């Protein structure tokens, strides 16, 4: 590649990165502005909106709802997904290709269509109470990510390690505790983190399934931004961006330290 | 949403924990492990999808009617919404292909020590909520925001909020990482030697692009475009917040019918139409990908 091509490419890509990151950076910068609505470029400088966001009970209660939904969904999705991935990765099953495709199929289903289907089903036939409807929906969209993250690792598990442990007199439980669990631990952590992040950020299923009495944080942000450019929402968004970045760094550190391959992370779109 | 990867384990791993002598033994354990997931999927995934279809053709569960599909496919206004959605999604896919290629090219060819950072910067928007990303575009597009201010210096009155162009720009940014990820995998597999050979034979950079890179990454460009298309046509938040009532698309119509008007049969009919559109796209995509990998295998031999 000659010099001029390289320079052109570099300039073009810098512009594309600006485009890709502009909305996030602009929200973050504008949330420090002193005007009563978010504007860019900002005028003045203040921490007032961060103070207001942190002292606003609505943001805290919706944050706790999202946290609860995220943790419960991610825990259950990790357990259910790992069990399925273990069955698919460790055993020779009749039709395992088909079963795997079935478990991954929510990935190719638009979340919006799934949300309407669940809404109508819960409203007309049967549904768990309140917030559990949302948890049920989040389980289905996060389990495929758990399976996709864990399956390659489980397939690589060396069966001879377990056999060696058994030959040396270890019980099944000891083998699981000393061999299988330590090998799978980073995968479990990454699966859980990914499932949590997807559930925590998810909006469409929440709009269709969460009870009006217990909105999630994305719902709260969504309903606030519909009515104008509230700088408090900007402050909340900025804090969430920082949290997400921290989460990403931790996830990268875990994967870099324990596994040679990076799992594909392609969360759903709202 | 993306294409599921192949789940069948490689032949060597198939034996599982059982040793070769016990290979054929049928154990009930794996089936027990699959039960929780299967029950959950059946209850809250399979049955509700069937219910969606039922709701659209027979709301009372007794009489079958095509009324709701006629209201979607036989009505000029509704058809207009569907075409607009397809048009917007197609433009977004094209824009992502154009912007995604140079980015993916540099990421897959880069040997820089900042490569990890660049990849992370591409992925970061994916992990942030689509609401926040769209919120950023609202700030940029607002009547007194930077874009409108910039154009007002030249005496032009440009407001992107509530416009189709605004929806397309915002959706392109929201979905661009998917295109970059898809293309990166494809470009990484094109040997640099091919580009160098073309250069040595006198091809300029444009000829290298059109005669080497483009033909070899055609599959990735098409696959990525189809993925972006089906994501763009089913995304709700961005058209709802940027386009609003002035840019109605299928996704916002489904929400309106289901939540605001509580017209379940109509919402179900729109949802099934959306499902059919994305289903066709996924079918084309899987055909393409399987053809592509077969071709790749062929060329290796």
Q: Which residue of B has its CA nearest to A180?
A: B17
* Sign, Cα dihedral of B259, B264, B268, B269: negative
The strand ranges marked E within B110-192 are none
For residue A148, tell me if it sits in a domain.
Answer: yes
**Is omega for the bond preceding B193 within 30 degrees of 0, making it cis?**
no
The Cα B23–Cα B17 span in angstroms is: 9
Whether chain A has a CB inside 8 Å of the CB on B261: the answer is no
| pLDDT for residue B291 | 66
Contacts of B237 in chain A (CB under 8 A): 203-204, 222, 270
B236:A270 CB<8 A: yes
Contacts of B176 in chain A (CB under 8 A): 16, 19-20
Flag the least confident range among A159-168, A197-206, B69-78.
A159-168
Indicate the length of chain A as a whole number.
270
- B16 pLDDT above the threshold of 50: no
Whether chain B has a CB inside 8 Å of the CB on A143: the answer is yes
Sequence-ordered list of residues with C-beta below 8 angstroms from that of B93, at least 6 positions apart, any chain: B225, B226, B228, B229, B232
Do B71 and B257 form a contact (C-beta atoms < 8 A)?
Answer: no
Give the CATH number for residue A88: 1.10.3720.10
Angle at B183 between CA B182 and CA B184, to 5 degrees: 95
User: For B207-253, what is each residue's pLDDT tens digit?
Assistant: 888 888 888 888 889 989 999 999 999 999 999 999 988 899 999 99
Q: Which stretches of A31-171 are DSSP H helices?
A: 48-55, 57-90, 96-104, 111-124, 132-156, 159-167
Q: Residue B10 to residues A89, A152, B16: CA-CA distances in angstroms?
A: 9, 10, 11
Do A65 and A214 form a contact (C-beta atoms < 8 A)?
Answer: yes
For residue A23, tell me if it sits in a domain.
Answer: no
With residue B177 as reference, give the H or E element that holds it: helix B164-188
Domains contained in chain A, number: 1
For residue A44, tell me if it sits in a domain.
Answer: no
Rounded mean pLDDT, A199-205: 93
Q: Which residue of B has its CA nearest to A224?
A: B135
Task: Work out the pLDDT band at B22, boundaries 50, 70, 90.
Answer: very low
Q: Which of B14, B5, B27, B35 is nearest to A90 (CA)?
A: B14
Q: Domains along chain B?
A: 86-250 (1.10.3720.10)
Q: Which domain holds residue A252?
A: 57-258
Mean pLDDT of chain A: 87
Residue whose token pair is 């919006």: A112
The Cα A243–Cα A241 span in angstroms is: 5
The Cα B126–Cα A146 span in angstroms is: 17
In terms of Cβ atoms closer than 10 Å to its own Cβ (0-12, 13-18, 19+), residue B283 is exposed
- B127 pLDDT above the threshold of 90: no
User: For B142-169, what is each residue's pLDDT tens digit?
Assistant: 877 888 888 888 887 788 888 999 999 9
Rounded mean pLDDT, A97-105: 91
For residue A228, tell me if it sits in a domain.
Answer: yes
A residues 100..119 contacting B (CB < 8 A): 100-114, 116-119
Task: Work out the pLDDT band at B300, boundaries 50, 70, 90.
Answer: very low
The Cα A237–Cα A240 span in angstroms is: 5
The Cα A20–Cα B183 span in angstroms is: 16
The Cα B208–Cα B211 span in angstroms is: 5
Whether chain A has a CB inside 8 Å of the CB on B202: the answer is no
For residue A36, tell me if it sits in a domain.
Answer: no
Whether chain B has a CB inside 8 Å of the CB on A63: the answer is no
């Amino acid at each position: 590649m000659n010099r001029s091509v390289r320079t052109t490419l570099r300039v073009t890509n810098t512009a594309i990165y600006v485009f890709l990151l502009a909305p996030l950076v602009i929200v973050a910068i504008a949330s420090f502005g002193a005007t009563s609505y978010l504007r860019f470029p900002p005028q003045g400088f203040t921490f007032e909106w961060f103070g207001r966001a942190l002292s606003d009970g609505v943001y805290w209660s919706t944050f706790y709802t999202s946290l609860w939904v995220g943790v419960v969904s991610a825990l259950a999705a990790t357990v259910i997904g790992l069990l399925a991935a273990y069955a698919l990765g460790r055993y020779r099953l009749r039709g395992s290709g088909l079963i795997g495709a079935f478990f991954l199929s929510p990935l190719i289903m638009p979340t919006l269509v799934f949300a309407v289907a669940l809404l109508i089903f819960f409203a007309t036939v049967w549904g768990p109470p309140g917030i559990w409807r949302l948890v049920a929906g989040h389980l289905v969209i996060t389990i495929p990510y758990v399976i996709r993250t864990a399956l390659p690792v489980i397939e690589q598990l060396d069966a001879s390690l377990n056999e060696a442990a058994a030959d040396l007199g270890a019980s099944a439980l000891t083998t699981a505790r000393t061999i299988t669990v330590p090998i799978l631990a980073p995968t479990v952590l990454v699966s859980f983190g990914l499932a949590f992040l997807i559930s925590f950020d998810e909006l469409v299923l929440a709009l269709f399934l969460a009870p009006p009495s217990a909105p999630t944080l994305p719902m709260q942000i969504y309903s606030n931004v519909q009515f104008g450019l509230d700088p408090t929402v900007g402050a909340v968004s900025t804090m969430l961006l920082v949290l997400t970045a921290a989460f990403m760094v931790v996830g990268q550190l875990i994967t870099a330290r324990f596994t040679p391959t990076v799992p594909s992370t392609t969360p759903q779109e709202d | 949403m993306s294409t599921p990867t192949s789940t069948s384990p490689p032949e060597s791993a198939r034996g599982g924990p059982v040793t070769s002598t016990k290979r054929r033994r049928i154990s009930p354990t794996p089936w027990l492990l699959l039960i929780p997931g299967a029950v959950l999927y059946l209850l809250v995934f399979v049955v509700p999808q069937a219910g969606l279809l039922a709701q659209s053709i027979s709301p009372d569960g007794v009489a079958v009617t095509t009324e709701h599909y006629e209201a979607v496919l036989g009505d000029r206004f509704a058809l207009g919404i569907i075409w607009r959605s397809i048009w917007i999604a197609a433009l977004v896919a094209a824009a992502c292909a154009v912007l995604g290629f140079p980015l993916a090219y540099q990421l897959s060819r880069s040997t820089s020590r900042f490569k990890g950072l660049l990849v992370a910067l591409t992925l970061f928007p994916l992990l942030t909520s689509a609401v926040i990303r769209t919120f950023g575009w609202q700030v940029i597009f607002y009547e007194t925001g930077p874009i409108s201010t910039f154009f007002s210096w030249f005496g032009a009155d440009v407001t992107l909020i509530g416009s189709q162009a605004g929806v397309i720009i915002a959706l392109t940014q929201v979905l661009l990482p998917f295109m970059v990820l898809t293309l990166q995998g494809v470009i990484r597999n094109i040997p640099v030697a091919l580009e160098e050979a073309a250069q040595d034979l006198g091809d300029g950079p444009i000829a290298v692009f059109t005669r080497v890179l483009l033909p070899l990454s055609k599959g990735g460009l098409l696959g990525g475009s189809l993925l972006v298309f089906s994501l763009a046509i089913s995304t709700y938040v961005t058209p709802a917040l940027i386009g609003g009532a002035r840019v109605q698309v299928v996704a916002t119509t489904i929400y309106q019918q289901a939540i605001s008007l509580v017209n379940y049969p109509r919402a179900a009919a729109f949802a099934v139409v959306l499902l059919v559109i994305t289903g066709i796209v996924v079918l084309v995509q899987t055909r393409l990908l399987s053809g592509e990998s077969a071709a790749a295998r062929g060329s290796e031999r």
